[in-house]
A and B are shown apart, each in its own frame.
Chain A
Amino acid sequence: MQNTESQKVSFKSLVDSIFTANQLTRIQDDIRTISAMAFKIGAGSLSSQIKPKVGPSMYLYILSLEKENRLPAAASLGHFLSELAGFLDGIDKITLTLAFEPSVDFQKEIALWLEKNLGTKVVCDFAVAEGIIGGLVIEYHGKYKDYSKAAEIESQIRRV
């Protein structure tokens, strides 16, 4: 079992690779999968056993922990995964509706911008609605704001 500070660092390397709500959900699913396997681990490394059953982010994370010799022992693995799941559950989610399908790079750029301006880790739940024309619609902590071009056009028309 590693100390708390090193665990936080270990979490960070995984968390930094998560930008979207879908990625977060996948990681959470992977944690449940590994937790279920933890009692049946046989010969060979954990990373090799989970590789066909988890996403690349989780696989690479476990692999890096193994390489750095920081993966908790089998007896502590359940606790470690439980703490990781709890940490991920606490990550903020912000829903952004866009008029186009954002590239992975753009998703990452937006997530980092939000993280920087909010001062906390967030994941973005991207939705696409061509009807909004451009801009975006934000839903965050129960607040809803329409910054779309469609809303602007509607507003302009009402003023005419």
Chain B
Amino acid sequence: MVILLASIAVLDLILTLLVLIAILKIAKLESLFRKSEGHKSPKLSKNFEKKVEVEVEKLIAAAGRRIDAKLSEYFQTLVDDATKKGTELAAFAEKQQGVIVKETQFLVARDIAKLQEDLQKYRADQMARIDQEVHQMVSDIAKQVLGKAIDVSTHEDLVKAALERAKKENILENAKH
């Protein structure tokens, strides 16, 4: 944008110079015309004025064409720059988007993994707790039912059987022997 404004200012300056040159040329011609005014007819003077006007218009038209050409050139440069910058910006945005997507994917994956791990641990803890409670309940019930169901004779048989097992497993080995 700054370049464009500077270019316009330069063109304005050039145009002003051209106009000044044209004015100087006209002034020079008028001076010549005044010098020869006394010797020339009014018709000749009029022809000369017309020629001057034509010359000035030609000069102004030529200057306008040059200015238009320059302006077109500058605008084209500006458009090319804008296009280039736009392309670069798009590429940068795309690259950044890729980075953000990857980073987000990583963070989400990490969070999911952590969540899964926490859930697994929670599940295992709860299962272990339930398992323990169920075992305790079954054990308590079995003890209550069996404890009441066993008569003295059976108790005595169980004790004798246990002693035989202890003997086989050498639990009753005498340390003194």
A contacts, CB < 8 Å to B = 92, 96, 98-100, 102-103, 106, 110, 113-114, 117-120, 130-131, 133-136, 138, 140-143, 145, 147-150, 153-154, 157-158
Contact = CB atoms under 8 A, between A and B. Distances in A.
A5 B166 CA distance: 35
The bracket for how many chain B residues form the interface is 20 to 34
B84 interface: no
Contact of A134 (B150, B163, B167, B175): B150
A150 to B, nearest CB: 6
B158 to A, nearest CB: 4
A135 B162 contact: yes
B177 interface: yes
B146 A134 contact: yes
Contacts of A110: 159, 163
Contacts of A99: 147, 150, 155, 158
A133 to B, nearest CB: 5
Nearest to A105: B156
B65 interface: no
Nearest to B171: A145
Nearest to B155: A100
